Amino acid sequence: MNALNQFLSVAPNAAPLCCRVAALVSIADFADRPPRPIADGETLSLGRHEVEWVDAPHVPYGWETDYLFERTTRTLFSGDIFTLGGSDHPPLVEKDMVEPADAFRLGFSAGTGLSASWAHVHDSRPIFDRLAAASATTLANMHGAAWHGPAARCGEILRDLARRVAA
């Protein structure tokens, strides 16, 4: 978030895009200009690309967690769902992301003494099902490799991780 105002200073017509919760609890407090809240399921044209906003409270962290699905390239900007530790990952993989991401999640929890590195959600399955239904072919992860493959496999990967997190 520290760079947000730097980005805004070089983009005079830009506004911070965030969910309604983030606009209320954080972004409006420190951004140099008002945020543009976007509603769950709302789409936004970015010229050649169109994004859909997906509210995903507590998957994996706070109540302001959200994801963007870029419809043109079928890319789900999947944040920390499939976090991989370390820097020895290729930028793009076509192999299974579930096992290494879940091992990192569980290892991080054990190393910190926290009961889990994810928020405790009563039932995150509907959120995972919704992300799986987007038919993404690329998972653009925040930490670690991005994944690319068939949309059906992407749905399987998301649902598999949902089962592991629920356990």
Q: Give the least confident one: 10-14, 33-37, 80-84.
A: 80-84
Q: How far apart are CA 128 and CA 40, in angstroms?
A: 15
Give 93's DSSP letter: E
What domains are there in the chain, each with its CATH number?
1-38 (no CATH), 40-166 (3.60.15.10)
Core vs surface per residue 118-135: b (16+ CB within 10 A) or e? beeeeebeebbebbbebe
pLDDT tens digits for range 31-55: 999 999 999 999 999 999 999 999 9
**Which residues lie closer than 8 Å to 22 by C-beta, 6 or more apart?**
35, 37, 64, 66
- If pLDDT is split at 50, 70 and 90, which confidence band does 156 have? very high
pLDDT of residue 100: 85
pLDDT tens digits for range 101-123: 888 877 766 656 554 556 666 67
Considering the entire predicted model, what is its pTM? 0.86
